[in-house]
Amino acid sequence: MNETIELLQNHRTYRQFDPQHQLPKEQLQAILEAARQAPSWMNGQAYSIIVIDDMAIREQLVAWNPGNPHIAASSVFLLFLADLQRTKQVADVKGTPYLVDEGYQPLLIATTDASIALQTASIAAESLSLGTVISGSVRKDSQKIAKLLDLPEYVYPVAGLSIGKPIVDMKVKPRIPEAAVIHYNGYQPYPYDLIAAYDQTMAAFGEARETKTWSDKFAGFYSHTPDQGFDHFLKEQHLTK
């Protein structure tokens, strides 16, 4: 097995970081350059990255996300944005219509581009023996974050990435059984027993922050109406109607 595959297969999320650890500028630059080289749809690169090393800003983000203190404790926090403002500028200069609010495809493109760049940054950081944790909870504060960070129209947060020096070792978390995830030449049905088995696997894994089984957690999550605040924010950003 080569080093890259071994790194990927041993991924784990770290949430406790040494707040005194300073990330060398060369390492941060290497991570950012790796992220910028990530693939994107049609080479559109429909994303931007905000490097947040200002502690006051990071503490404000934690105040809005008290369950994620790592945003302030890590060495740096990167906010990955879906960015359709850049192509809006192109449309304005070229004098062409900009119809991104006519369907969901542009949102999917920009979200995917930002997500691939984020994952690439995470892998780059891990290759430098750093720890990472991805924070999707920033989306619930999109409107406040937009004001705090002066986000223009046609831009929205996708997720953040905390990078730092771990102070607590973590185990590799078990994944859903392969037969329920990997399909060949078409989607193949699988027995619910695989999900029930995963509940038992995760219970045995004993992650302290999990208070429910995997199935109970997501049955509960998707039983509620999705966040309407984010929908409203996308309308304000002229991304949906």
The answer as to whether 213 is a domain residue is no
- What pLDDT is attached to residue 151? 98
- What pLDDT is attached to residue 36? 98
The answer as to whether 160 is a domain residue is yes
- Which domain range does residue 13 map to? 3-172
> From CA 128, how far away is CA 140, in angstroms rounded?
31
The stretches in the chain having pLDDT less than 50 are none
Q: Is 166 helix (H, G, I), strand (E, B) or coil?
A: strand
CB-CB contact of 107 with 99 (8 Å): no
- What pLDDT is attached to residue 1? 77
> From CA 100, how far away is CA 91, in angstroms rounded?
11
The answer as to whether 67 is a domain residue is yes
Q: State the pTM of this model.
A: 0.96
- What pLDDT is attached to residue 79? 98
The answer as to whether 158 is a domain residue is yes
- What pLDDT is attached to residue 208? 83
- What pLDDT is attached to residue 136? 95
pLDDT, tens digit, for every residue of 4-31? 999 999 999 999 999 999 999 999 999 9
- What pLDDT is attached to residue 41? 98
The answer as to whether 120 is a domain residue is yes
Q: Is 181 helix (H, G, I), strand (E, B) or coil?
A: coil
Number of domains in the chain: 1
> From CA 23, how far away is CA 9, in angstroms rounded?
25
The answer as to whether 63 is a domain residue is yes
Starting at the earlier edge strand, list the strands of the sheet with 155-164.
47-52, 76-83, 155-164, 131-135
The answer as to whether 136 is a domain residue is yes
- CATH code of 131's domain: 3.40.109.10
Q: Which long-range contacts (CB under 8 A, 24 or more apart) does 63-69 make?
A: 64/141, 64/144, 64/145, 65/135, 65/137, 65/138, 65/141, 67/137, 68/133, 68/135, 68/137, 68/162
The answer as to whether 219 is a domain residue is no
